[in-house]
Amino acid sequence: QVQLVESGGGLVQPGGSLRLSCSVSGLPFSFLVMNWYRQAPGKERELVASINVSDRTNYADSVKGRFTISRDNAKDTLTLQMNRLKPEDTALYYCYTNWVYDYWGQGTQVTVSS
């Protein structure tokens, strides 16, 4: 059975940092393109960052230079390091991949507020 479980969300002040993790089981993690999405209330879900099997990364323009996506294939874990956070980063953050089917985590809430 497949599981994607996010963790690390919370409340942080503008300019602060958070580190999100996604633990993957039931899938061949090292063969997967992994992605972070986010969705704020009343807005469409958007792709934040992705990383492929060769560690090539892509970022949304809104987070470029502030966020870093990485993977640890030995631990089947995906990470999103978020620095210099802004109120507009507030959203529910999801881990996503595809292996024949789409797989989503349950989401972890990030709130940036003073």
pLDDT tens-digit profile, the chain (114 residues): 999 999 999 999 999 999 999 999 999 999 999 999 999 999 999 999 999 999 999 999 999 999 999 999 999 999 999 999 999 999 999 999 999 999 999 999 999 999
Specify the residue for token string 């089947």: 76
In one-letter notation, the amino acid at residue 99 is: W
Q: What is the DSSP string of 13-26?
A: -TT--EEEEEEEES
Whole-number CA gyration radius for the chain: 13
Give every CB contact of residue 61 below 8 A, 6+ residues apart in sequence.
Answer: none
User: Distances from the Cα of 48 to the Cαs of 43, 45, 74, in angstroms?
Assistant: 14, 9, 24
